Structure 1
Amino acid sequence: MPEGHVIHRLAGTYTDRFGGRVTSVTSPQGRFAASAKLLDGSVFEAAEAFGKHLFLGFGDAGWVRVHLGLYGKVAFAEGPGGAAVGQVRLRVSTSDGHADLRGPAACELIGEAEREAVLDRLGPDPLRADADPERAWRRISRSRTSIAALLMNQEVVAGVGNIYRAEVLFRHGVDPYREGRNVTRDEWDAMWADLVVLMRAGVGAARIDTVREEHTPEAMGRPPRVDDHGGEVYVYRRASMPCLVCGTPVAQADLAARNLFWCPSCQEA
């Protein structure tokens, strides 16, 4: 599932391409046809991201809330677009460009009150200027739930997924199974600040890189990582491989139906 940096990057691209312009809105697949008809010919004002939710703003006509889920993708292309290829749920287009949304978990037209209700359920997003990490800390500091599970809970922190979760815990030497109430305030402040930096870098680079300069392939004389997710990481999807810092084999376990990765030495319980 795409993490928050992907959604923020998409919001920026939608705004750059369509912001302030009258757009054609269609649903070639047909599942969003009624709502698309209401939006067709409207001015696309701006797109906004909050956590893993993408909001496409059409002024008084409302917002399209998109959640990509596991399979959703957006493809941008030049020109207004001809016959749609595949199951395109939503197409936004102008004379010189279009964006096709396929396979989202959610795609719905909502009003401002409904949008606010969605936002009220989410924790702070490290990529937003209005984020309040204190809100997350209040939940974490009282919880008996593991910090690894809390970081994946979108009501605690919005936008963090499996990769950023594993990597930020490693970078700060925090055992993923430690209860939230046993995480210190200094540790939380450091992890939050790190998430802000790492996720912003992810928006710019369109990939997740979390290794420090001294652990890059060039610095260590090792081959670059080859993985569908791209990017240089410490523990994510490196099970049984040696830790880049201490050489201990990276561990893997199931936690809340998601794969968890950590170094048993660098993140000692």
Structure 2
Amino acid sequence: MPEGHTLHRLARLHKRRYAGGPVGLSSPQGRFAAEAEKLDGQVLVSAEAYGKHLFHHYGPLGTVHVHLGLYGTFGEAPLPETAPVGQVRMRLVGRTHWTDLRGPTRCELLDPAQVDAIKARLGPDPLRRDAKPDQAWERISRSRTTIAALLMDQSVLAGVGNVYRAEVLFRHGVSPMLPGRSLDRALWDAMWADLVTLMRAGVRVGRIDTVAPEHLPAAMGRAPREDRHGGEVYVYRRAGMPCLICGTPVAHKELAARNLYWCPACQPE
């Protein structure tokens, strides 16, 4: 599932390419046809992301809410348009580009109250300037749930996924099994600041890189990581491989139906 930096990149891209002018909107698949017909030819006012949610605002006509889920994707291309390929839920056409949305978990037209209700269910997003990290701390500091599970709970923290979860815990030497209420406040503040820095970098470059310069392949004389997710990481999807810091094999287990990675030596319980 795309993590928050991907949705913020999409929001920036769509704002730049489509906002401020009328857009063509259609639903070749048909599942968003009535809503697309209502918005076709109208002005896209703005685009924004909150956690893993994308919002296209059309003023009084409402807001298109998209959640990509596990399989959703946007495909972007310059004009002229070509015929739709596959199951295209929504096609958006602007002045210079067009984009097709395929396979989202949600693609719906909402009124302002419904948009507010979605945002109210989410924890603070490290990529938003209006984020309030104290809200996340209030939940974490009272919880017996593991910090690994809490970081993936979108009602606690919005936009953090499996990669950022594993990497920020490693970077701060925190055991994923530590109960939230046992986390030190100063350590949480440092983790939040680190997430802001890492995720902003992800928005800029379009991939997740979490290793320090001294641990990059060139500095360590090792081969670059080869993974479809890209990016240089410490533990994510490196189960059984030596930790880049201490050489201990990276551990792996399933937690709450998601894969968890950590170094038992660098992140002791």
Tell whether the structures are fold-level matches, with TM greater than 0.5: yes
1:94 to partner: Cα distance: 2.5
1:82 to partner: Cα distance: 2.7
Aligned to 1:57: 57
Aligned to 2:120: 120
Distance 2:95 2:264 in 1: 55
Please list every run of 5 or more consecutive structure 2 residues that lacks an aligned counterpart in the other structure.
none
Give the aligned residue type for 1:135. Q
Q: 2:148·2:177 contact (CA, 8 Å) conserved in 1?
A: yes
Distance 2:140 2:78 in 1: 45
Give the aligned residue type for 2:140. I
Q: 2:173·2:266 contact (CA, 8 Å) conserved in 1?
A: yes
Give the aligned residue type for 1:72. G
Give the aligned residue type for 1:16. R
Aligned to 1:21: 21
- Structure 1 stretch 79-88 or stretch 212-221: which is displaced more? 79-88
Give the aligned residue type for 1:241. M
Q: 1:24·1:40 contact (CA, 8 Å) conserved in 2?
A: yes
RMSD: 0.6
Aligned to 2:168: 168
Q: 2:17·2:96 contact (CA, 8 Å) conserved in 1?
A: no
Give the aligned residue type for 2:267. Q
> Stretches of 4+ moved more than 4 A in 1?
none
Please list every run of 5 or more consecutive structure 1 residues that lacks an aligned counterpart in the other structure.
none
Q: Deviations over 1:219-265 (max 9, x none)?
A: 10101000010000000000000000000000000000000000000
1:144 aligns with 2:144: yes
1:83 to partner: Cα distance: 1.5
Aligned to 1:46: 46
1:58 to partner: Cα distance: 1.0
Residue 38 of structure 1 aligns to a residue in which SS?
helix
Aligned to 2:6: 6
Distance 1:236 1:204 in 2: 21
Distance 2:87 2:44 in 1: 23
Residue 22 of structure 1 aligns to a residue in which SS?
coil
Q: 2:18·2:95 contact (CA, 8 Å) conserved in 1?
A: no
Kindly report which structure 2 residues correspond to 1:1-269, keeping only aligned pairs within 5 A, or say none: 1-269=1-269
Name the % identity. Answer: 64
1:60 to partner: Cα distance: 1.2
Distance 1:129 1:97 in 2: 28
Distance 1:213 1:82 in 2: 43
Alignment coverage as a number of residue pairs:
269
- Structure 1 stretch 75-84 or stretch 125-134: which is displaced more? 75-84
TM-score (norm 1): 0.99
Q: 1:71·1:103 contact (CA, 8 Å) conserved in 2?
A: yes
Q: 1:57·1:63 contact (CA, 8 Å) conserved in 2?
A: yes
Distance 2:151 2:157 in 1: 6
Residue 10 of structure 1 aligns to a residue in which SS?
helix
1:155 to partner: Cα distance: 0.1
Distance 2:218 2:80 in 1: 43
Distance 1:224 1:252 in 2: 21
Distance 1:133 1:23 in 2: 36
Distance 1:95 1:216 in 2: 41
Q: Deviations over 1:95-116 (max 9, x none)?
A: 5311110000000000111000
